[in-house]
Each structure stands twice: as C-alpha cells, then as structure tokens.
Structure 1
Amino acid sequence: MRQVQAIWPDQKYENWRLYCFADQASAQAFLDHFAGVMFDPRRDRENGKARGVWRRSGEYKRILDLGPLSVPEILRT
C-alpha cells in the first residue's frame, strides 16, 4: 500500500491510499468489491515524473463511502 496526494485544478486536495496489484484482474476484483478509482502511474503521475502527486482532472468530489470492512475471498491468502 502507498499514499498519493490527489490535487484537482481548483487546488483542492486529499491524501489517498493506493493498493497495488500484480495484475489487472486482481485490481478489478478489489475495485468491484470496495469501489474507488483506478490509478495508472504512467497516466496519473505525469509519466512517472511527479512523485507522490496525482493531478486529477474535472471537479473535486469527495469519496464518502469507504466500502465494507472485509476482504473479498479472491484476495485472501
């Protein structure tokens, strides 16, 4: 797990947690269960140049729903 600071054009920002996965299928299973936003380092970190910053586009919208407090069976070890 890593953290990133999401910054919108109107200068509003939030600190977000990133959950990293080895493959797209695992990431999608996590996203389907918990909801959230897909993060692509090459696209979302200015081609990897900006460290710790996620330049968001569009209007700021706070995510209030944190999802259920359990891990999907597919992600359990």
Structure 2
Amino acid sequence: MIAKFCQERELKHQTRHVQAIWPNSKYETYRLHCFRDAASAAAFRRHFEGLMFDPRRDRENGKVRGVWRRLGEYAPVLDLGPLSVPEILRS
C-alpha cells in the first residue's frame, strides 16, 4: 500500500529503522519512511497519519546510531490511517 501510494505520486523515499525508547524502558523498532522534501513527507503523513521524526532533533543529537528517546508514556501504534495491525498480532 505504501509503495503504491509513493509510486503513483512519484514520491522518492528511503526506508530506515530506529529503536524508540520510552522513559519506562519500553522499546520498539519503528520503520521510518524518509523523504527528500517536506512537501512529500506532508503528503505521506496526510494519507497515512503517523509520527514526524527529525533525526537532528529525535536521534540523540543526530547520532547515526542513536536511539529515538520518546517522551511521555508508551502506547502501541495499532492504526495509522488506512494501515492497521491485524487483531491476531495485537498484544
């Protein structure tokens, strides 16, 4: 669904992964879809919702291998726009 969306709109992007860690030590791996420009990222977010990630701000002062230090309380992401985690995989 993501590939089709980007292909139809000719949005060039790369997929990356980052480890997100909350203050209570809960962690998850997030898949990031990185775009060349803010307008492409905004179009993607309007359709799929999701969270904004800025590596300079969110990844331990821009460290390439740094983690995403999340604030607040952990809550699993189960639905993002038209995407949803199947019921059997929810814990």
TM range (shorter): 0.7 to 0.9
CA radius of gyration, larger in: 2
Q: CA deviation at 1:52?
A: 4.8
Q: Which runs of 5+ in 1 are unaligned?
A: 70-77
Partner amino acid for 1:59?
E
- Runs of 4+ deviating beyond 3 Å: none
SS at match of 2:34: coil
Number of equivalent positions: 69
- Scaled by the length of structure 1, the TM-score of the pair is 0.81
Any stretches of 5+ residues in structure 2 without a counterpart? 1-14, 84-91
For the residues of structure 2 that align with 1:52 and 1:29, how far apart are their CA atoms?
27
Q: Contact (CA 8 Å) 2:21, 2:67: kept in 1 or not?
A: yes
Question: Higher strand proportion, which one?
Answer: 2
Tell me which residue corresponds to 1:73.
Answer: none
Q: Normalised by the size of structure 2, how large is the TM-score?
A: 0.70
CA pair 56-50 structure 1, distance change in 2 beyond 3 A: farther
1 or 2, which has the higher helix percentage? 2
RMSD: 1.4
